[in-house]
Each structure stands twice: as C-alpha cells, then as structure tokens.
Structure 1
Amino acid sequence: MPSVTDTQLAPEVRKRPSWLPHRAWLIAAITFITLIGAAGFRSVPGVLMEPLNAEFGWSHGTIGLAVSINLLLFGLISPFAAALMDRIGIQRVVSAALLLVALGSGLTIMMDQVWQLMLLWGVLVGVGTGSMSMAFVATVASRWFIARRGLVTGVLTAAGAAGQLVFLPLIAYLSENYGWRVPSIGVAVLALAVIPLVLLWLHDHPHALGMEAYGASDTQPTPPRAAIAKGSAGRAVEVLRAAARRPVFWLLAGGFAICGASTNGLIGTHFVPAAHDHGMPATTAAGLLAIVGIFDIAGTIASGWLTDRVDPRVLLATYYALRGGSLLVLPALLGPDAAPPMWAFIIFYGLDWVATVPPTVVLCQRYFGMSGPIVFGWVFASHQIGAALAALGAGVIRDASGAYTLAFLISGGLCFFAAALSWAIRRPPAVPHEI
C-alpha cells in the first residue's frame, strides 16, 4: 500500500466516532488469526513421529533432527523477517511466509526420503513460520500500541503458542483414522485461507491510515514511520552487534534459549512419544497437549496484564523457577492414564508455557527502544536454538537409553539456571538507549 510520511499528515486526518474501537484492535485480531493459522503445521511433528517411524523406519533421532532444523530456522529467520517488515511491509512478508508454510506442508504427502523431510519440515516450514514468529508480535505491538502493549503482546503470543497445541487432537485423530497425509493437506489449506485476511486488513503502520497508535500522547507518541523504514538484513546484523555489547542481551538470550528447550524443543516435540512409551495412547497424549494450549492462552494473557504492572525481571525469574520444578517431577507422573497429578502438571505447564514472552518483549523495548523488535528477534533466535538442541538431544537420549527421563531432568535443572540469569538483569533505564 502507498506510504504516507509524517509531514503529510494533518493533526487528525481521520475522525473516529467515540463508540468505534481503535483500528489497532482490528490489526491485533488479524495478527491473532494469522498466528494461529501459521502455528498449525508446527503442531504436526510430535504427533506424526510414530506414524513416520512405522511407515519409513526413521528413528526418533532422525525425525528430531528435522524438527530441530525447523526450530533453528524458525528462530534465526525472525530478526531478518522483522527487518524485512520494516523495509517492504508486514503484509508482503506475512503473505509470502504463509505460502511457504502451505508449500512445505502440502508437499510432504509425496516425500519418501529423509532429505525431503529435512527440506520440507525443516527448511520451508521453518523459514515460513519463522517469518511470523515472536518478532512479528513485537513489531505489531510496538507500532500499533502504546497503552496495553504488554497485554496485547500476551494475547498474540498465546495465539502463536496455543495454535500449535490446540490442533493436536484433531491432527492425531486424522492421522490415526485417515493417515498422516490428511492433516498435512489440511494445514496447507488453512495457511492459504489466511492470506486474503492479511492482504486486506493487516496494515503496516498507523500513519499509513492517517491515525495514531492506540494510547499515543504527547509524552508517548506513535513511533514515526521514517524511523521504522530503515530496516534491512544489514540493519538486523547491525542491531545484533550493538546489542551484543550489553550484558542484558546475553542474560535475556540465555534465559530464552532455555525457555525454548523446555517448551517447543522438549515438551512440544517429545511429550506425545514419551507418554506413548508409558502406555498412553497418542490421541490421549495429544489431547493433554491441547489442554496445555488452552491454559497457555489464559497464562500468557495474564502474564501480559502482569507485565504492565509488575517488574518484568521478577516475573521471568518466577516463571523459570516454577517450570524447572515441574519438569523434575514429570518422569514420575507419566503412565498409561491421565491421573490427577498429571492433570496438575498439564494445567500448570499450560499457564507457564510462554508466559515468559510478554516480560521479555517489554524489557527489549525498555532497553533498546525502537530497535526492540529486532533485538527481540535475536533473543527469540536463541529461544529456537535451545529448542532445536532439545528436540535433537531428547531424541538421541531416547534412542540411546530407551526413555526420556534424563532429558526431562536436564531441562528442569536448566530452568533454575534461567531463573538466576533473569534475576541478574539490572533495572531498565528511564529512557531506552537507542541503537
């Protein structure tokens, strides 16, 4: 869409009736739907691990390697996608990303070689979903919201995370009754269906519509479009170099790497086969992960609400410590049935799943200002590096020992270390140090 510079805008180009919600909420709604659609395929690997093993003979470690490639690219592409959104716009980047997800998902029905699994699940879907990851959330929240930024970040984060999990029972049912290729086609169709919504309503910036961000004021104005439109791949690398000179970046990135290892990498990828090892049907285990997704929505929205009111550093340390304790007891809870202690774990883990995102996004904004979304893209890259290592490592541990127990214990211990890293973050400056 044509750009509108700040100097071309009158104080109020468009008058909005008082009863009409701010356009930012429509942007947030379209982003929510987009993230759910993009997350669909990322829920497939954990459920289809056993069917692929049965049909092709591929080991848990081999399939885990494909998932780890996906997770790694999902994170590494994020800061470049955020910079590309600055350069060519959100609509174009997100539409192209959804198309990649559809191609990667749909073409899997014809694969019969491991390299094809790596290319489709790993590369195409990894790049596609990575372009619509948490840096996308940070970009929308920072451009369209001044007030309620933490809450909106929590809601959008919940969409991306819950979308991966809520689809699990349906995918497991379709795979069990119709074969694993049917859900792959379904996810491709879903991704394609979201593209028209993006092209019609996911606008790039408030100033392009002649309005201000939600909650903008004289003291907290809308970020000017001119300041945002400098993005490029070179800009992403430049921001990384500058951020890497500050200890807070490494503290956030280190904690977030462990966050990824203990969620997407371990539980998201290996919970279903781990439960299956203990006699639990795959559909039951997938249903439990779907419950995680439902409670994740409540937990992440609540975390966003708390982030607007409580020191984000304290929230991060608390979330990581509680997660670590829950992982240490998980091996004792696994069994053929979903007993009450397992339900307690599922509910808690759902509330804590990505509750870490809103405080991390806000800390990036408070420390790095307008570069916050790109900095968060790099922090999120560390999240996916941790997830990739856990996806591969847990599969290797399962192949070598016949159980996932050691993987759960290691992850639990790392979460306590993440809590210590978060506690070591100093209080943010009153004015962000722009980079």
Structure 2
Amino acid sequence: MKLAIMRRWYYGWNIVIVTSLITMLTVGTRLGAGPFFNPMLISLGISRTLLSSIFAISMIVYGIGMPIAGYLVDKLGTRFVLLSGAVMIAISTVLAVCSNEPVSFTFAYSILLSLGLSFTSPIAVTPIVSKWFTRQRGKALFYLSTGSMGGIAIMTPIFTFAIEWVGWKTTMLLLAGLFLILIAASTLLLSDDAPVNTDLLPGQIMMNRNDLSAPMISLDKWTDALATRPFWYITFGLFACGFSMNLLGSHGVPMLMDHGFNEHTSSLSIGLLGLVAMISSVFLGNLSDNISKRFMLSSIYIFRGAEFLLIVLIMSEWQLYLVSAFGGLVWAGSTALSSAILGTMYGLRWLGILYGWSYFIHQIGGAVGVYTAGWGYEFFGTHLFAFGTAAGLSALAGFVCLRLPAYNRI
C-alpha cells in the first residue's frame, strides 16, 4: 500500500512544471538580454554607457516589483498576479518597439516591462510551490530553478537567431504573445490550495507534522526578520548572485564578441552554461533535502566566483565551451536554496514578502553589475574589472553563507 502511494503522481509536480515554464520565459527575457544589446544600441543610436544605464534601471524596477508581487500573491493569489504581469508585458512590449528615443524606451522597457516581469518572476511562483511541498521542498524549488537555467540555455540562442531572422522588435512582439498564451493556459492548472499533508509520506503524517513545517525563528511581523543576521546573510548572497548573473546575461555575449568570438559562438556558449545548469539542478535538487543547504549554497558561490575569472580570460573556443560547462555545474541553485532556507527559517507565512525583499537586493546587485560592466569597459578599456568584481563578490558570499545557523534542516 505504501509503495503504491509513493508511486502515485503527486499533483504538486504539475505546479512545478507549469511554474518552471513561466520562469523560463521570465528569466530568459530578463537575463537573456545580451543578444538584444547591440541591435538596440544601433536602433536607438545611443552610447554603450547610456544603454547599460537603461538596462540597470530595468534591473532595479524588476527588483522593486518583487516585494509587491510577493505581497499581492499573499493577498490576491498567484493567478491574479500572473495574469496582471502578462497584460503589462504585452502593453509594454508594444510601447517599447514603437519607441525611437531613450526616454520613451526607458519607460516602456525598463519600467513597465520590468514591473510586468516581476509579476511573473520566481517570486510570484515560489510561494505556491513551497505550499505544495514539505518533504521534498528543496527538490521542488531546485526543479523550479531549472526554468531560470532554461531561460539562459534556451532563450539566449533563440533570441540570437530570431533577431537575425526577423529583427529585435518582431522578436519582442512574438515573445509577448507567447507570455499571454502560456500564462492564460497555466492559470487553469494552478491552485493556491495545497492539500493539508502536502507530499508527506503516511509515516510522517502520523508524526507531529508541525515539527517539519514550523519556522525556526518565529516572527510576529515580517519586519522582525530584518533584525536577524540570517536574513542579511542570505540577502548579501543574493546581491552577489544578482551582480554576477545579470552581468553575464547582459554583457556576456558582447564581452565574448569583443574578445574575438563570433556572435553564434558567444550565444551558444552562454546557452551551454544554462543547459548544463538545468541538468546539474536536477542532481543538486535530489541532494538538497539530504545534506546541508548552507554548505551547498556556499560551495555554489565560491565555484561561481572562479567561473567569472575564467570566462573573461579564456582565449580559444574549446576553452570557452569547457569553462561554460564548468560554470553550468555551479550556476543553478543559489535562488532555490536561498528561498528554501528563508522558508525553513521564518516560515511559509512570510516567505513571499521576505523573498521579495531579498530578491529586490538581488536586482540592486544586478543593476550595479550591468552598469559596472558598461562603465568599466569604457573607463578601463577592459571587461576584467567587472568580471573580476563579480568573482570577488561571489567568493565573499560563499564565506558569508557558511555563517548561517547550522540547524539540521539547513
């Protein structure tokens, strides 16, 4: 009987699949902006620093929308937030492709589109996945993160080929249409009402379930978490994560092209990183509920730092693909582990708003990283400054996360 129950398909995995696809489109649009950079630069006729500043603004607004999305999910539900985001994405895309000067383009692309993407981001769907899982929450959140990795692995090369074929404006319009179709269809499958016992096995249900789901740090209100060190350890790690991931997403392809690689090789290498990350996230997800989450998180950041030094120093195609594959092994998991640790530390009641604020700092890091890359290249004449900074921040985040409380559940 027990074996039959274990083999029965749990509906929560449908939630994971749907939300992973939404995450793939969202993160692919935000982190896969590299192929759009040069075409937008030519189309708008502006400097690299100014376009980098526009991209940086988009990262900040994307981050500002995170706690708003987390709050609205708690109050109005996942479906409402996702549908609102899809509508904003459609409207902003039309405005962006019709813009011919920096001010209107900044409003459409950096503000309205970014706000819409924050409503379809991992922040909007992490709470619903967490509600549906207790025993396998770490694995489920890792699997959700495969959507983010898929955004890099799949969307970056697709954007490159689509822009060559139909131009960047038509590519954006097609993307907006895909958002509307996917989210309208997915809301028919999503439900915020998880079963009482979630994915617990019969033996665990008979035990005191509260021991498995109770927060380690009780909060009377979410702002109480701001006075605790673990919240800021996680948040600093996400700042470093945002700096590095958005740096690579926005400037990885232009950097590699400046170093002599052609456009296809550059975009495919970034795609390879995401593809390997998708595979590694499945492997790491199976480990995450059985070994120390803080140690895994620390290791990911430290090895990611090494990746950023290597990718800016490589000189041949085989080195590029090797470094991309290495980076993919440690690229996944930082956001999944961070959200899992926050949920374990402070409870699911506050997860949406706390993760939203932490992800806001993630996007501050992203904005700083994107701007630093453009400014650093024009000021120093090299990408080493920005990518070296990313390496240092990632390594420091690894050591900071080792200071998280060594509880059994993290």
Q: Given the two structures, how large is their TM-score scaled by the length of structure 2? A: 0.90
Counterpart residue number, 1:365: 343
Indicate which of 365, 378, 403 corresponds to 1:424.
Answer: 403
Contact 1:154/1:302 (<8 A) preserved: no
1:41 to 1:325, Cα distance in 2 relative to 1, 3 A: closer
Contact 1:313/1:423 (<8 A) preserved: yes
Counterpart residue number, 1:260: 242
Counterpart residue number, 2:327: 349
How many residues align? The count is 398
What is the rounded CA distance, in whole Å, between the counterparts of 2:274 and 2:310 in structure 1?
20
Counterpart residue number, 1:220: 209
Q: Aligned runs of 1:148-297 on 2, under 5 Å?
A: 148-206=136-194, 212-215=197-200, 217-218=205-206, 219-220=208-209, 238-239=221-222, 241-264=223-246, 266-297=247-278
1:192-213 deviation per Cα after TM superposition (whole angstroms, max 9, x unaligned): 1113223311112225xxx642
Shift of 1:267: 0.6
Contact 2:15/2:129 (<8 A) preserved: no
Contact 2:32/2:151 (<8 A) preserved: no
Please tell me the root mean square deviation across aligned C-alpha atoms, in Å.
Answer: 2.6
What is the rounded CA distance, in whole Å, between the counterparts of 1:424 and 1:188 in structure 2?
42
Shift of 1:257: 0.3
Given the alignment of the two structures, is residue 100 of structure 1 paired with residue 79 of structure 2, yes or no? no
Counterpart residue number, 1:58: 46
Shift of 1:409: 1.1
Counterpart residue number, 2:61: 73
Indicate which of 21, 24, 39 corresponds to 2:12.
Answer: 24
Quick one: which amino acid aligns to residue 259 of structure 1?
C
Indicate which of 390, 395, 407 corresponds to 2:386.
Answer: 407
What is the rounded CA distance, in whole Å, between the counterparts of 1:17 and 1:311 in structure 2?
28
Quick one: which amino acid aligns to residue 269 of structure 2?
L
> What is the DSSP-based 3-state SS (H/G/I as helix, E as strand, rest coil) of the residue aligned with 2:120?
coil
Counterpart residue number, 2:309: 328
Shift of 1:43: 4.7
1:33 to 1:315, Cα distance in 2 relative to 1, 3 A: same
Indicate which of 65, 79, 102 corresponds to 1:114.
Answer: 102
Quick one: which amino acid aligns to residue 294 of structure 2?
R
What is the rounded CA distance, in whole Å, between the counterparts of 1:284 and 1:308 in structure 2?
37
Counterpart residue number, 2:375: 396
Quick one: which amino acid aligns to residue 124 of structure 1?
L
Quick one: which amino acid aligns to residue 391 of structure 2?
G
- Structure 2 residue runs of 5 or longer lacking an equivalent are none
Contact 1:146/1:220 (<8 A) preserved: no
Shift of 1:39: 3.3
1:375-432 deviation per Cα after TM superposition (whole angstroms, max 9, x unaligned): 22222221111111101111111122332111111111111111111112222487x9
What is the rounded CA distance, in whole Å, between the counterparts of 1:67 and 1:307 in structure 2?
34
What is the rounded CA distance, in whole Å, between the counterparts of 2:193 and 2:83 in structure 1?
17
1:162 to 1:406, Cα distance in 2 relative to 1, 3 A: same
Contact 1:30/1:198 (<8 A) preserved: yes
Shift of 1:374: 2.6
Shift of 1:165: 3.9
- Structure 1 residue runs of 5 or longer lacking an equivalent are 1-15, 228-235
What is the rounded CA distance, in whole Å, between the counterparts of 1:346 and 1:186 in structure 2?
28
Quick one: which amino acid aligns to residue 374 of structure 2?
G
Quick one: which amino acid aligns to residue 71 of structure 1?
M
Shift of 1:164: 4.0
User: Which is worse superposed, 112-121 or 161-170?
Assistant: 161-170
1:121 to 1:198, Cα distance in 2 relative to 1, 3 A: same
Shift of 1:160: 2.6
Contact 1:161/1:354 (<8 A) preserved: yes
1:303 to 1:121, Cα distance in 2 relative to 1, 3 A: farther
What is the rounded CA distance, in whole Å, between the counterparts of 2:268 and 2:324 in structure 1?
10
User: Which is worse superposed, 420-429 or 79-88?
Assistant: 420-429
Contact 1:361/1:373 (<8 A) preserved: no
> What is the DSSP-based 3-state SS (H/G/I as helix, E as strand, rest coil) of the residue aligned with 1:426?
coil
Shift of 1:34: 1.9
